[in-house]
Structure 1
Amino acid sequence: MIVEQLVDKKYRNDIQGIRVLGAFIILIFHIWFNRVSGGVDVFFVVSGYLMASVLVTDYLNHGFESVLCFWARIAKRIIPSTITILIVTVVAGYFILPPTLIEPFLEEVISVLFHVENIKLILNSVDYLAREFPPSPVQQFWALSVQVQFYFLLPFILLPSLRVSQATNSLNFLFFVLFTLILSSFCYSLYLTSIEPSTAYFHPLTRAWEFFSGVFLFFLIKKIKLKSRVSGLFSIVGIVLLLCAALLVSPDLNYPGYVATIPVCAAILLILSGTYEQLYVNKLLATPWFSKMGSYSFTIYLWHWPVLVFYREINGGKEASLLGGLLIISASLVLAFLTSEYVEKPLKSIDKSKWKLVGVSSVAVSCSTAFFCWWLLIDYRSLQNEVYNSIDSKVVATDWSPEYVNIATTIDDNYANITRKQLLAVRWNRPKSIREGCQQRPTISDLIICEYGNLNSDRVLMLVGSSHAAQWMYPIEQLAIEYGFKLKVMTKSGCPFGALQNSGNSCSQWNKQVIEKLIEDKPSLLIVNATLTSSVSKEFVPQEWVEQWKLVSSEGIKIIGIRDNPRRLEDLTTCISRNIQNYNLVCRLDSSDLLDNDVLLEHALENVIDTSSYFCSDGVCPPIISNFIVLRDKHHINELYVRHISHEIQQKIKSFYPELF
């Protein structure tokens, strides 16, 4: 029978070596280069190849009951080490991570326990504001989540196809199914990577073709006969491709997309080259050291990330040095060895009759860990609700000063008594429009229009742009209420008024609709961002914005621009948490590196509100002003600080167009 011929009882030590290559490439490029390397793609191809072999063997031994056998094998291999790594990481993370990072960390731990970490990261990538926080110590589990999802799906695709193959004594139908899946997934990967790469990176459908390539290779490999020279050439080309994927692929390229074909092809060539006669590279990969390390490879991958994250936290967020990186790798190897020797191996040796007890115990520990994390999250959730429920009442508090306080008095070595509650609450201090869901997602071009103020008024104020426009909503809404305007807010995450070259098609389409709406409504006043700041370069005025302003002005619409606030490389609350004793020195910014006063001298807009004095004085931009943490992440202003300076903003708006007020 044709299916029986697929079973190969020869153990491929060199495949373990391929897994080692993938693991160490990941470690090296995560630790010292902080970018994608293609190592995970190698894992996916190898997993597809090996799991096809396991499933075919189980199918021949147990028929369709092999589904349960297959899943039991996977659970036996994955659950013990996963729970062990998670428990250690949760305990260490609770004591090492800044309090501002505990909540998203615990949320991800729960996602990992249910093998949906990649879905959680997709949701975070869609949530523009959630992107501002550094990766959690369990983010690496996204790859395991994708693998588990593939393992769950594989029997439902493979077993019916194998049944057809047995009936027809041909693999043609199976090849057709696999080829269709590979092509469909690859095309979807190209599409999604082009429009939303951050989502595509974690999406199971963009990665499915990599797994199914390994599955396809398993069934195809028996039909391929390679000469020695060709095998040797394939192994060398495979290594070269793997190194090219790691060394030459620019981090600016969207991933996975077509770029992922490089490490995938590398893995395929390396597997092919060692099928019949192992030469050169494959002999090296099959040596005892590589074979032994291969059994630890994925555990090494799972351990290296929390070790790296905790190393950075202990060192104040700094990247690892050469020595530090070697320590991280050494620690990962030791932890992987201990996990294998004292968790995985003892469980493998347990009698089959006791595996039901082990399974029940594993589920119980997983659920207990999830419950513990959920219990810890209650405190954070209650704080979020408290912030949301009280933020609108704080403007009338007796200790609230509606007038601007000169920030020069705060730029010294005196430190405000910053509490844990303040640090945790500041991330939720968002504008009303964002809290109410009135901001379009990055990938969607449809307009979301929210109205505030006097809803029956014919006089209209419009606030348009990205989240950097939305953060100025409060003072504008108060003007609308006081002077009888209707305020219309149209904002979109990551999309300014005037789409930039790198803004994407969604932003361009959204801007076209905004222009049409502006021309239709003819607002009394349009308020937009006037400049664009960056954490790595000086402030400037994009030409695309200027063209858009000219277009709107030609329709007789009055415009006021608000100068952008300074941006940071690091989340501010995290910086303060890491440096609570000297945050004024460590977390301050040099305004000369970020702001450029020359952009205001010949600005295309006649009326621009210069906000720089609200954030910087004498060349320094302090992290805390008048006891307010200025930013709630890397570059969005704390809503309470906006309210603190709102009186000044309102006065400047009225001074530009007194006839409207």
Structure 2
Amino acid sequence: MTAQNAVESRTSRGSGGGFRPDIEGLRAVAIGLVLLYHAEVVELVPGGFVGVDVFFVISGFLITGLLIRELERSGRVSLGRFYARRAKRLLPATGVVLVVTAVLTWLSVSVVQWRVFGGDIVGAALYVVNWVLAGRSVDYLAEDVGVSPVQHFWSLAVEEQFYIVWPLLLVLVGWWVRRRTHARLRPVMAVAIGVVIVPSFVISLVWTASNPAVAFFVTPTRLWELGIGAFVAIGAPLWPRVPARVAWVLGWFGLVAVVVSAVVLTEQVAWPGYAALWPTVATALVIVAGFTSGRWGAASLLAWKPAVWVGGLSYSLYLWHWPLLVTATNLWGELGGKKGLLVAAASFVPAYLSYRLVENPLRFSKGLSGSNRLSLSLGGNFTLVGVVAGLVLVLAVPTSTTNPEQGGGQGQAAGAAVLGSAATGGGPTPGSVASLAEVEWYTPGATEAVTDVPPSYARGCQQDQESTEVRVCELGDPDGAVTLVVVGDSKILQWWSAIDQIAQDQGWRIISMTKSACGFHAGMQNQGAEPYESCVGWNENVRAEILEIDPDAVLTSQRKKSALEDPTDGSTLSTDAMVEALEEHWTVLGDAGIPVIALLDNPSPGGNVYECVAENPDDLSACAFDLDEGFDGSGAPSMLDAAERVDGAQTIDMSPYLCPDGTCPPVIGNVLIYRQGTHLTDTYVRSLTDDLASLLVPAVDRAVE
């Protein structure tokens, strides 16, 4: 969401370059909606996120109008001058904010997040962070990542990418028009823009329906919104001919529609998609009406001096408010509406200071105005400052506490020295919380734990949360006499390395079918606040696939212990519904002669163990948790109950190797146990290969008999 559209010296300009105070006021409305929404005043404006769509339309209008006027005036567009103006207008303030954001992140966020957020800051400085966030939104392994302090830069990135591409398109149009005597610039430009934004709108509809998390952030789904503003700019010579009364109606209707959209729409609406037509078209009507609506039109209200002042400050406000809100939340917890409003109001102070001391002095510098090269250099240097700020935060991550004899290595390489030691006592006596005081090193390091995952992810063996298609991978012995299907969510996938090694040793063929956050059962899970519908479709397809394969046994595990009692209601969960859902799938397989082996979910810690370890390197006992509580919070109870109801179903419990004395320590045998919430590090799983084999091999033998 953005206020990055002040494009002429210090004011908004209309079709002929004249000052448009109503557009400054419209910016004030947009930034006000964004501030209220981000300040968690959701009871007033649950759809305050539409402020970004208002900004997009304004940007498309102003930038296109600027370029058209230059083409009509001189027949050409000076790309150097255009990019120089953008550089000195936008990049200095961005660089300052990113440096401050890096410092605030260092002070307020756990060290395990520094690397991720430092990378985000680099992406923000280079204006590609929208793609970074889009990738993270569908990355199951990134579920522990907190709210990025530069998340708001996604819309600034969209606009910067627009600023780079749009002038090139208009230059091409201008060149084509000059070569054709009878061609008229504005009609040709309208066709060219239509060729861009119609596909963009179609992409927005398709992606919003199929992959909304990605659609929200990426540029192709947003170009059409900027294009609406561009169409308004192209038609600028026509709008003064609109009768004043019609313009009066259009203006007030548009302004009211923008505000009502923020009040009526909620986060439950798929966005952007067709719903974004509401605030974008309404914004276009306000801009059109501002050409002729007269004294009592909406433009007169928007031209109110305080609104114009806030609109002029909107870019700075947008830059500053989000890092301050995120930092306050990190320090004090959820803010709520009142505290959120106070923090948002406080952002006026740094916004005004940076506006007066950084933005304006550089924008109006006579030396910079006379040299495009110098302006571009200035902008490039401030971009470099932002990149360096992010890289410093990445490099500030402390060195991992790994085996010094391994040369500071980590993950699987350093872990090789301790594989197999978890149950036998490499280093301190495993399972003893008191012995944690003796731990001098462990692997993987706490700041690398989230990357200590099985190779199944690199092979793309886990289906995402959107698709119902069955993704199949094979491991073990491809010619094995015994075939096992491994099915479920990431809690069975975490055992991949150990299962693969056991299968190779035993001569088993393993067929893996897993899906993010989707257990193997016949029920309906929840996905956030919504029913996880694609999980149901995937389960139906998987069950059919297993029956067709007809394996010797199925090995499964899962995180969820509850399912929805009513699939149409995303709020009522119960363990009984999950037990019945497991029982149904397992019974179908059992009746087909395919026994089920349930590898019980591991005990669930109440928080992120690796983050606790990073923050308490001298007191690892602070990161231990009770086995009984961990068991109750896991998917194991439901799996146990279902196994008791299904003939031939077996269970395997690995908790004695995770919590040997009834307490679950963060480190056993110099190996860090947990990563990504409740998941096990791949290094620790590998260390348990022999222990898992001692339970799994007899279970498979019984199933095959």
User: How does the TM-score come out when normalised to structure 1?
Assistant: 0.84
1:59-86 CA-to-partner distances (Å, cap 9, x unmatched) read 2344334333222222221111111111
Query: 1:541 corresponds to which letter in structure 2?
Result: M
- How many residues are paired up? 648
Equivalent residue number for residue 459 of structure 1: 482
Deviation at 1:439, TM superposition (A): 3.1
Query: 2:419 corresponds to which letter in structure 1?
Result: V
SS in 2 for 1:136: coil
Equivalent residue number for residue 220 of structure 2: 205
Query: Is 1:326–2:366 an aligned residue pair?
Result: no
1:282 is aligned, of 293, 296, 299, to 299
Q: 1:544 to 1:177 in 2, by over 3 A?
A: farther
SS in 2 for 1:488: strand
Query: Is 1:214–2:229 an aligned residue pair?
Result: yes
Structure 2: gaps of 5 or more residues = 1-13, 401-407, 526-530, 564-570
Deviates more, 1:471-480 or 1:157-166: 157-166
2:357 is aligned, of 342, 345, 357, to 342
Residues 477-488 of structure 1 mapped to structure 2, 5 A cutoff: 477-488=500-511
SS in 1 for 2:592: coil
Deviation at 1:542, TM superposition (A): 7.6
CA contact (8 A) 1:461 1:480 kept: no
Write the distance in 2 (CA, Å) between the matches of 1:107 and 1:222: 45
Equivalent residue number for residue 168 of structure 1: 183
Deviation at 1:470, TM superposition (A): 0.2
Q: 1:553 to 1:392 in 2, by over 3 A?
A: farther
Deviates more, 1:260-269 or 1:434-443: 434-443
Deviation at 1:207, TM superposition (A): 0.4
1:314 is aligned, of 331, 339, 344, to 331
SS in 1 for 2:149: coil
Deviation at 1:240, TM superposition (A): 3.6
Write the distance in 2 (CA, Å) between the matches of 1:135 and 1:512: 35
Q: 1:339 to 1:385 in 2, by over 3 A?
A: farther
2:419 is aligned, of 391, 395, 416, to 395
Deviation at 1:280, TM superposition (A): 5.3
Write the distance in 2 (CA, Å) between the matches of 1:452 and 1:50: 57
Equivalent residue number for residue 80 of structure 1: 92
SS in 2 for 1:64: coil
SS in 1 for 2:456: helix
1:235-293 CA-to-partner distances (Å, cap 9, x unmatched) read 44334433333333232332211222222133223223322125354322211111111
Query: Is 1:15–2:23 an aligned residue pair?
Result: yes
Deviates more, 1:381-390 or 1:459-468: 381-390
User: How does the TM-score come out when normalised to structure 2?
Assistant: 0.79
CA contact (8 A) 1:528 1:559 kept: yes
Equivalent residue number for residue 120 of structure 1: 132
Deviation at 1:141, TM superposition (A): 0.9
Query: 2:479 corresponds to which letter in structure 1?
Result: N
Q: 1:621 to 1:145 in 2, by over 3 A?
A: farther
Deviation at 1:497, TM superposition (A): 3.5
Q: 1:590 to 1:440 in 2, by over 3 A?
A: closer
1:362 is aligned, of 371, 376, 379, to 379
1:338-380 CA-to-partner distances (Å, cap 9, x unmatched) read 1111111111222233553343243234335535644664686
Query: Is 1:637–2:683 an aligned residue pair?
Result: no
Write the distance in 2 (CA, Å) between the matches of 1:89 and 1:233: 44
CA contact (8 A) 2:129 2:157 kept: yes
Deviates more, 1:605-614 or 1:620-629: 620-629
Q: 1:629 to 1:564 in 2, by over 3 A?
A: same
User: What is the percentage of aligned positions where both structures have the same residue?
Assistant: 25
Deviation at 1:595, TM superposition (A): 6.5
SS in 2 for 1:334: helix
Residues 37-436 of structure 1 mapped to structure 2, 5 A cutoff: 37-161=49-173, 167-169=182-184, 171-224=186-239, 225-278=241-294, 279=296, 281-315=298-332, 318-351=333-366, 352-353=369-370, 356-367=373-384, 369-371=386-388, 373-374=390-391, 377=394, 386-391=410-415, 393-397=417-421, 401=425, 422-434=445-457
Write the distance in 2 (CA, Å) between the matches of 1:398 and 1:591: 20
Write the distance in 1 (CA, Å) between the matches of 2:630 and 2:419: 31
Query: Is 1:609–2:617 an aligned residue pair?
Result: no
Deviation at 1:395, TM superposition (A): 1.6
Q: 1:273 to 1:362 in 2, by over 3 A?
A: closer
Query: Is 1:541–2:582 an aligned residue pair?
Result: no
Query: Is 1:560–2:560 an aligned residue pair?
Result: no
Deviates more, 1:476-485 or 1:112-121: 476-485
Deviates more, 1:608-617 or 1:301-310: 608-617
1:391-442 CA-to-partner distances (Å, cap 9, x unmatched) read 455323488549xx997x7599999999998421221222342355543444
Write the distance in 1 (CA, Å) between the matches of 2:596 and 2:376: 65
1:466-522 CA-to-partner distances (Å, cap 9, x unmatched) read 2222013344335424433233333333444458585566x6776566456534543
Write the distance in 2 (CA, Å) between the matches of 1:212 and 1:314: 40
Write the distance in 2 (CA, Å) between the matches of 1:382 and 1:396: 25
1:523 is aligned, of 547, 551, 574, to 551
SS in 2 for 1:115: coil
Q: 1:281 to 1:541 in 2, by over 3 A?
A: same
Q: 1:546 to 1:602 in 2, by over 3 A?
A: closer
CA contact (8 A) 1:623 1:629 kept: no
CA contact (8 A) 2:119 2:390 kept: yes
Q: 1:591 to 1:32 in 2, by over 3 A?
A: farther
Q: 1:375 to 1:27 in 2, by over 3 A?
A: closer
SS in 2 for 1:168: coil
SS in 2 for 1:460: strand
Write the distance in 2 (CA, Å) between the matches of 1:301 and 1:567: 39
Deviation at 1:202, TM superposition (A): 0.8
Q: 1:612 to 1:454 in 2, by over 3 A?
A: closer
Deviation at 1:199, TM superposition (A): 0.7
Query: Is 1:470–2:513 an aligned residue pair?
Result: no
Write the distance in 1 (CA, Å) between the matches of 2:298 and 2:591: 68
Deviation at 1:48, TM superposition (A): 0.6
SS in 2 for 1:489: strand
Query: 1:156 corresponds to which letter in structure 2?
Result: L
Deviates more, 1:207-216 or 1:393-402: 393-402
1:17-59 CA-to-partner distances (Å, cap 9, x unmatched) read 1112111211221221587621111111111111111111222
Q: 1:657 to 1:489 in 2, by over 3 A?
A: closer
SS in 2 for 1:523: coil
